[in-house]
Structure 1
């Protein structure tokens, strides 16, 4: 019964992510932490996140320039190293407050002035680094990364595809870390084996919904999710 519910929730939440490019794991944790430990869900979430990235990119026009993506990931990796340093040596409370303020202000600007927020290259690199820093400290990079994508790329499919490719790379690194540290328990492996095929089939067909969402609605939904993510971070 628990696995059936997990599979159904993942189908719904990660279908949202494959359409809009973010929030699948946040929604999963919000809905199912009463049934599973948060740590278990975070580890398990690597499977649906990898499926979202692979299926979404495979069934979309080729809009990602890998040299651009490599630069983004490089700065995010630097931010991740800094995040790990602060995680072990500095109180994270102040940084979390500042990050929440940045995300909330970004979301508010995207909601109130859609299409007017544009980044110069230096500011784009700052957000790339901040995304990696946030991922290392809190396990969340979606709001920061999507703010950067919306303010950089011209159309919804390019925005989403860069987000999927960016998160796919970060999740591959996360999987490597889990494997090296023997983090995947037999119970989590069973959860993945049972639910994975159903989620993959659902995502395969859900991907086409992205192309049915108009440009304005896509940006509105993502902007509101970013704003909500920033506000939520104040209380995390």
Structure 2
């Protein structure tokens, strides 16, 4: 059955979904990585496609910007479409010198300034983490492909334009980069016993004058896609 945000029918979506914030990046992946892609969703222009990659069924779909958006789409995929694993590919701003535009970050864990985790009423602070099997395989693939990468904690922030520059405090605790979605994705996966991983491309630096163009963000950051599809 369809949901308010997804017009797919049961069986239209593969067990593995590779997601991106930008639905046009999902369209790019469908056109450049999938064999015989078929669109299953266009509600709110949140494009989704299913095809095969090297003979294996896989879907790609956008999830929008921010924790509320990715939380809705990933929840529905896990709970209503029986998806087993979601691999998010996205961009991030690095918090340390020495990281370059185009480098990958494999998000082992995700800190957050969001209140999303409060819904679970846990007696403490929950630490959302990636599925280790997916993470270790992604690291192996980065090495095999000769791709520059780091592994570690990221910050899923509700704030894009941070007037207080609180990211400096996160950087001091070893957090590698800031993005806006992974904490909710990892929490949703944990809550229903499914798998999730985020692979990020550095698109900006918060400590050096480095930034990628909008076109590069949408079309040029293909290394994270290659690694993601290798995990299907």
Question: What is the TM-score with the length of structure 2 in the denominator?
Answer: 0.32
Higher normalized helix content (fraction of residues): 1
Question: What is the TM-score with the length of structure 1 in the denominator?
Answer: 0.31
Work out which structure has the larger RCO, using CA pairs closer than 8 Å and 6 or more positions apart in sequence: 1
